[in-house]
Amino acid sequence: MQREIRQSGKIRGVVLLSGLVLALGIVGGGCGSSNSESIGQSGSLAGHTIHVLTYSGSYLEALERDVIKPFEEQTGAKVAVDDSCCEKLQAAMAAHQYVGDVTVGNDYGPNLLYADQGWVVPDRQLLQLEKDSGVPKSYWNPAVLATQIYAWVIASSDPGAPMPQSWSEFWDVQRFPGARGLFGYPSGTLEVALLADGVPPVSLYPLDVDRAFQKLTELRNMTKVLFFQSGAQQINLLATQEVKYSLAFINRVVLAQNQGIDLGVTFNQGLSVATSASLLRGVKDKAGGLAFLRFMMQPAVQARFGALTGLAPVNPKAQPLLPPSRRSLMATSPKNLTKEIPFDDQYWRKNLLPLNKRFIAWLAQP
């Protein structure tokens, strides 16, 4: 299989919010032109090269094995991968440079911010694809396609040890002693602090930010708290037992299992989050890009990709195709869904920049 890899990126999880501070600074320009507007789902794409902007590491390995390679084999297209998402995106968009045709793997919220800037662009065919693929209506958006769902959960470095079953128990260092791990960004971290302080899930948003920071300060005063910056780092802290309990991304727990690392986990009060895909501004092969996304949303493809990565299919027809051994670790399994709290992307779309600045200042406090 021929493959072009442009720009080697850093290995990280699918959650990447550090670039969002930059994402609010530039107003995007107009869309580039595209070739043919539509190609049938099963038609030949011979002669097409679709440029995909995504992440490196385990995500790219799964994407190449379960999506890109079969797509190339079935359509005759070639896929060129840029795995540097998304460090250079602002500079490229400011200079009106071509970045690629589609971006995949970014969380839903960041892509909403990119849509606000005009960096990813709407298309009626994306909205139709969402409807055809059974995407929950809360995620319908003409510029941002929800592709998978995962959850932010409580994990333990010792699956045989007593396990906190709520965020209030996670804060209880007397019953559950040991260092704690939290995400080094405000999104998700502020939510679990409020849940620990007794805020009911239905009253979580809009966030009581002052109360959340007070609760985080309380935890820091009671025990050692380490803040991770990536999915790989969070698992490393658990695997080396530098932390006893941690907020963790369930897809990273699944990847740890693939590597023989056994962790305790509960979905109680987990935060469900969507990953996404979009057409990039300046897309040159819109027809090929849309065909790639249609292929990615097929039930069999979603099931294969989800079984390897722990990123649950958003297409409900993919659920029965998952291996039984993986279903209990999927955020979209009926049992887990009843325990999870939907992440409010619209809240963070409006509030990320000021809260990120405040969070950085809080982290710097002794």
Chain-centre distance for alpha carbon 72: 25
Residue 363 lies in a domain: no
- CA neighbor of 42 nearest in space, from 66, 70, 74, 72: 74
Sign of CA dihedral 122, 127, 128, 132: positive
Domain that holds residue 50: 4-149+273-333
- The residues, ordered by sequence, that sit 6+ positions from 142 with a Cβ below 8 Å of its Cβ are 122, 123, 124, 126, 127
Digit-by-digit pLDDT tens for the chain (366 residues) are 333 333 333 323 333 333 332 222 222 223 333 333 334 444 689 999 999 999 998 899 999 999 999 999 999 999 999 999 988 888 999 999 999 999 999 999 999 999 999 999 999 999 999 999 999 999 999 999 999 999 999 999 999 999 999 999 999 999 999 999 999 999 999 999 999 999 999 999 999 999 999 999 999 999 999 999 988 899 999 999 999 999 999 999 999 988 899 999 999 999 999 999 999 999 999 999 999 999 999 999 999 999 989 999 999 999 999 999 899 999 999 999 999 999 999 999 999 989 999 999 999 987
Both 255 and 288 in one domain: the answer is: no
Both 21 and 145 in one domain: the answer is: yes
Both 67 and 28 in one domain: the answer is: yes
Both 262 and 288 in one domain: the answer is: no
In this predicted structure, what is the pLDDT of residue 13?
Answer: 34
In this predicted structure, what is the pLDDT of residue 9?
Answer: 32
Single-letter amino acid code for the residue at 93: M
Residue pair 155/173 in contact by the 8 Å Cβ criterion: no
Q: Which helix (H) or strand (E) is 174 found in, with range?
A: none
Both 280 and 314 in one domain: the answer is: yes
Both 173 and 265 in one domain: the answer is: yes
Which residue stretches of 16-136 are H helix?
A: 57-63, 69-75, 89-94, 108-117, 124-132
Single-letter amino acid code for the residue at 67: V
Both 122 and 12 in one domain: the answer is: yes
Residue 202 lies in a domain: yes
Q: Which helix (H) or strand (E) is 137 found in, with range?
A: none
pTM across the whole model: 0.84
In this predicted structure, what is the pLDDT of residue 44?
Answer: 83
Q: Tokens in use for 263?
A: 């962790």
Residue 361 lies in a domain: no
Both 47 and 60 in one domain: the answer is: yes
Residue 362 lies in a domain: no
How many residues appear in the chain? Answer: 366
d(CA 96, CA 119): 10
| DSSP letter assigned to residue 260 | T
Say which CATH number the domain at 244 has: 3.40.190.10
- The residues, ordered by sequence, that sit 6+ positions from 353 with a Cβ below 8 Å of its Cβ are 20, 21, 24
Residue 79 lies in a domain: yes
- CA neighbor of 315 nearest in space, from 106, 135, 108: 135
In this predicted structure, what is the pLDDT of residue 58?
Answer: 87
Residue 104 lies in a domain: yes
Q: Which helix (H) or strand (E) is 87 found in, with range?
A: none
In this predicted structure, what is the pLDDT of residue 87?
Answer: 83
| Domain total in the chain | 2
